[in-house]
């Protein structure tokens, strides 16, 4: 892979302001005589700030920021259900406008390029809010949409929303029939072949797509039609059949045509209608069985909104308890402040809490510290003790582990479980031991056949799912990844299981997964910096010696990609464009990830210029209140498509890195 610097500049005025603010904060603390002294002062301030963010119940939760499609789709959902209010609309529109770029577009992450589907959904939401199409910001948005190909060039999910309001023909959308519910788990393309997030989204969408509702809006979108663009429903000019042996695209295109024919049979023939009614009934029961106590589905936005739509279309009115809980639960995910009203796509209290616990332990808090004890008490109560969809692939495995959210009992994940095991192992709590044992047993049992670990399911690797015409946005399967596998290895080793079969097989998997350049790909964080920062500490914990070639190549990769300012950063465009791998504006979380890997590999302050410069970057950019600014997104939902700014990452990971730096340097 090429790692040359992208042609465009990655320095921004905001980065310069951040640096100036950091220097000012350092000056307020006074000039430190050494890197270690500066690191100690920075750690104390960051530790105190982190402690001050803990809730009385013991948990931590930072905002989980994504993009404006969450807010646009929330308004469209409320319009469809007839519950949209003027206040909600006004405040959401204010937030959406605040995120618009000067060229009229919206991006999927801070500093990212224009994204067509996001721009279309934001535009429609603002039209719904009453923004006139001849307003300047709307004219700029419409011009970009036309230049980019108009509505026909958007992703399927965007056109799905438009179809519900009569702005796109249902016949021009891929078909995913609810009869999918009858496929057994061993049959290709059954619902359990999809990752849990995709599965929970696709099932309700089969209902919506089968019932094809149209609830018109009081406006059209003719102004978005690109010159010369094909009118929906018309035959594409010059289209010729492909010759030769069909590939997967042709095969699934033929399947989609057959499914469209089947849809016509459903309307015209009684046996097909009976099968369709049974399929819709089963889909509805499946959806209801997976609603969480807080009213959500999986604790994430896509299945939540589509489940509400599906159930409403199946006859559940807004007064039904399932619908009431679902709509009320959205309020808990809604943030209202001076910038407007915005919806979190998810919430991460378990993840944030166990990361904060591990960071504070790295910072030197004793095992019996009250903050850690309160957090442990809360984490233990959050343990998932019942079966979930993961049981389909591992039916004999006893339950255990932790999920990401406040309420998500159907979908614990190995990543949160690994960090929870690490955190509980560092506190003094009488109930921690049994919870750890259950978590270890469940986590080890979720290994895939190849020895690696995925987040939510085992052996969820059927790539055929990606070929469906419906699946043109986001990852839809959950194969093992280097970052998750590394976290599991680290947790198992911390509990004395370094010689276990699960760890040995996972280490082999990690070594095989190393990229030719020495890095590791990051599935759930940006990107190779995250993957490498996760894997190196895990391999060292598993007994791989720092001098081994795999570790030295990783160290060399990190050193080569350190920025001139001493930090590390990797732009999210690296998922699409290899020129961005390891390149980007320096951020606190990514700098900390690199430092955690270097320190684990035996690099030490005073002897490693890379470590000293990285620590100096953190201390120079710290805010006066002890935390850091981080506008750039460093979390990943779907590589290449959907990204996250975890607002607590900018604090917990620097605390861990500074704490470990001081411990390894022998500073008190």
Cβ neighbors of 270 (< 8 A, separation 6 or more) are none
Domain boundary among 281, 311, 344: 344
31 has pLDDT over 60: no
Q: How far apart, in whole angstroms, are the C-alpha atoms of residue 66 and residue 345?
A: 7
520 Rama sector, left if φ>0, alpha if ψ -120 to 50, beta otherwise: beta
Q: Are residues 283 and 382 in the same domain?
A: no
Whether 308 and 370 map to the same domain: the answer is no
Number of C-beta neighbours around residue 98 at 10 A: 11
In a domain, 378, yes or no: yes
Pair 427, 339 in one domain: no
Q: Look at the alpha carbons of 597, 600, 603, 609 in this order and tell me if their dihedral is positive or negative.
A: positive
Residue 74 covered by a domain: no
Q: Which of 201-210, 239-248, 311-320, 433-442 has the lowest mean pLDDT?
A: 239-248
| % of the chain at pLDDT higher than 70 | 91
pLDDT, tens digit, 9 for 90 and up, residues 100-141: 999 999 999 999 999 999 999 999 999 999 999 999 999 999
Active site residue 294: no
End-to-end CA distance of the chain: 43
Helix (H) or strand (E) holding 149: none
pLDDT tens-place string over residues 576-587: 999 999 999 999
CA–CA gap between residue 358 and residue 491 (Å, rounded): 12
Which band of pLDDT confidence, cut at 50, 70 and 90, is reported for residue 323?
A: very high
Write down which residue in 315, 344, 373 finishes a domain: 344
Write down the pLDDT at residue 4. Answer: 35
The pLDDT of 368-381, averaged and rounded, is 97
What 3-state class would DSSP assign to 107? strand
DSSP 8-state symbol, 394? -
pLDDT band at 351 (very low <50, low <70, confident <90, very high): very high
pLDDT in tens, 501-559: 999 999 999 999 999 999 999 999 999 999 999 999 999 999 999 999 999 999 999 99
Q: Residue 483 pLDDT > 80, yes or no?
A: yes
Q: pLDDT at position 243, please?
A: 39
Same domain, 421 and 303: no
Instruction: Say whether pLDDT at 381 is over 70.
Output: yes
Q: Are residues 194 and 48 in the same domain?
A: no
Catalytic residue among 294, 415, 478, 571: 415
Indicate if the pLDDT at residue 321 is higher than 90.
yes
| Structural domain includes residue 473 | yes
Q: Are residues 334 and 388 in the same domain?
A: no
For range 343-371, the mean pLDDT: 97
- 478 — phi, psi (to 5°)? -130, 70
Would residue 150 count as lying in a domain? no
Contact 312, 318 (CB under 8 A): yes
Same domain, 451 and 375: yes
Q: Residue 265 pLDDT more than 60?
A: yes
pLDDT of residue 246: 54
Q: What is the mean pLDDT of residues 599-617?
A: 95
Identify whether 101 is part of a domain: no
Q: Is residue 273 located within the same domain as residue 294?
A: yes
Q: What is the pLDDT of residues 417-461, one digit of tens each?
A: 999 999 999 998 999 999 999 999 999 999 999 999 999 999 999
Q: Which long-range contacts (CB under 8 A, 24 or more apart) does 366-369 make?
A: 367/426, 367/427, 367/428, 368/427, 368/428
Q: Which domain holds residue 363?
A: 13-65+346-665
Say whether both 369 and 416 belong to one domain.
Answer: yes
- Distance (Å, rounded) from C-alpha 416 to C-alpha 401? 8
Q: If you average pLDDT over every residue of the chain, what do you get?
A: 91
Q: Classify residue 233: in a domain, yes or no.
A: no
pLDDT digits (tens, 9 = 90+) for 190-234: 999 999 999 999 999 999 999 999 999 999 999 999 887 665 644
* pLDDT over threshold 70, residue 172: yes
Together in a domain, 481 and 534: yes
Q: Which of 344, 373, 389 is the last residue of a domain?
A: 344
> Residue 409's pLDDT is what?
87
Q: Is the pLDDT of residue 98 over 50?
A: yes
- For residues 410 and 389, is the Cβ–Cβ distance under 8 A? yes
Query: DSSP letter at 525?
Result: B
pLDDT reported for residue 18: 44
| pLDDT greater than 90 at residue 257 | no
Q: What's the confidence (pLDDT) of residue 382?
A: 97
CATH of the domain at 29: 1.50.10.20
Cross-strand partners of 64: 646
* DSSP calls for 330-392: HHHTEEEETTEEEE-SB--HHHHHHHHHHHHHHTT--TT-HHHHHHHHHHHHT---S--GGGG
What pLDDT sits at residue 668? Answer: 61
Count of the separate structural domains present in the chain: 2
pLDDT for residue 232: 60
Check residue 242 and give its pLDDT: 38
Same domain, 548 and 612: yes
């Amino acid at each position: 892979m090429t790692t040359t610097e992208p042609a465009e500049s990655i320095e921004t005025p905001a980065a310069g302001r951040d640096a100036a603010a950091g220097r000012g904060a350092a000056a307020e603390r006074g000039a430190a005589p050494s890197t270690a002294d500066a690191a100690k002062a920075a750690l104390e301030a960051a530790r105190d700030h982190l402690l001050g963010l803990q809730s009385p119940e013991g948990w931590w939760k930072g905002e989980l920021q994504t993009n404006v499609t969450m807010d646009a789709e929330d308004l469209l959902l409320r319009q469809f259900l007839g519950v949209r209010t003027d206040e909600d609309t006004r405040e959401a529109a204010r937030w959406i406008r605040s995120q618009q770029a000067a060229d009229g577009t919206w991006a999927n992450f801070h500093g990212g390029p224009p994204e067509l589907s996001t721009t279309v959904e934001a535009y429609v939401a603002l039209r719904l809010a009453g923004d006139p199409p001849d307003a300047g910001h709307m004219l700029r948005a419409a011009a970009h949409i036309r230049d980019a190909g108009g509505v026909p060039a958007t992703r399927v999910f965007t056109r799905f929303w438009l179809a519900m309001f009569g702005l796109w023909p249902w016949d021009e959308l891929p078909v995913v029939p609810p009869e999918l519910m009858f496929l057994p788990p061993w049959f290709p393309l059954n619902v359990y072949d999809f990752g849990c997030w995709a599965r929970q989204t696709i099932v309700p969408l089969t209902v919506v797509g089968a019932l094809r509702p149209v609830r018109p809006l009081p406006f059209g979108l003719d102004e978005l039609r690109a010159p010369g663009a094909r009118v929906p429903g018309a035959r594409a000019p010059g289209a010729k059949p492909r010759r030769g042996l069909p590939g997967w695209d042709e095969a699934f295109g033929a399947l989609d045509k057959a499914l469209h024919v089947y849809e016509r049979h459903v309307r015209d023939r009684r046996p097909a209608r009976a099968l369709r009614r049974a399929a819709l009934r089963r889909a509805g029961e499946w959806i209801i069985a997976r609603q969480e106590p807080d009213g959500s589905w999986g604790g994430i936005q896509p299945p939540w909104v589509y489940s509400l739509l599906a159930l409403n279309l199946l006859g559940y009115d807004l007064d039904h308890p399932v619908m009431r809980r679902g709509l009320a639960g959205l309020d808990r995910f809604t943030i209202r402040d001076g910038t407007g009203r915005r919806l979190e796509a998810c919430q991460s209290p378990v993840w944030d809490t166990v990361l904060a616990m591990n960071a504070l332990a790295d910072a030197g808090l004793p095992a019996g510290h009250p903050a850690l004890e309160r957090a442990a008490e809360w984490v233990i109560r959050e343990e998932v003790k019942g079966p979930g969809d993961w049981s389909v692939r591992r039916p004999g495995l006893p339950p255990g582990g932790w999920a990401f959210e406040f309420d998500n009992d159907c979908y614990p994940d190995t990543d949160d479980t690994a960090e929870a095991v690490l955190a509980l192992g560092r506190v003094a709590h009488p109930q921690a031991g049994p919870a750890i044992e259950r978590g270890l047993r469940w986590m080890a049992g979720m290994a895939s056949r190849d020895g690696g670990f995925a987040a939510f399911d085992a052996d969820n690797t059927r790539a055929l799912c990606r070929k469906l015409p419906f699946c043109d946005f986001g990852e839809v399967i959950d194969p093992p990844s280097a970052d998750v596998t590394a976290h599991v290895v680290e947790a198992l080793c911390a509990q004395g299981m370094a010689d276990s079969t699960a760890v040995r097989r996972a280490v082999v998997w990690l070594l095989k997964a190393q990229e030719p350049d020495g890095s590791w790909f990051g599935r759930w964080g940006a990107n190779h910096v995250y993957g490498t920062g996760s894997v190196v500490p895990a391999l060292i914990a598993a007994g791989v010696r720092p001098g081994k070639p795999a570790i030295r190549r990783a160290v060399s990769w990190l050193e080569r990609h350190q920025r001139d300012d001493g930090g590390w950063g990797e732009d999210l465009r690296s998922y699409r464009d290899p020129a961005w791998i390891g390149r980007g504006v320096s951020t606190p979380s990514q700098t900390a990830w690199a430092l955690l890997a270097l320190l684990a590999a035996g690099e030490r302050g005073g002897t490693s210029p890379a470590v000293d410069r990285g620590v100096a970057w953190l201390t120079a950019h710290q805010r006066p209140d002890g935390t850091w600014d981080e506008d750039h997104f460093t979390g990943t939902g779907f590589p290449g498509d959907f990204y996250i700014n975890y607002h607590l990452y900018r604090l917990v990971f620097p605390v861990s890195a500074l704490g470990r730096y001081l411990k390894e340097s022998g500073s008190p």
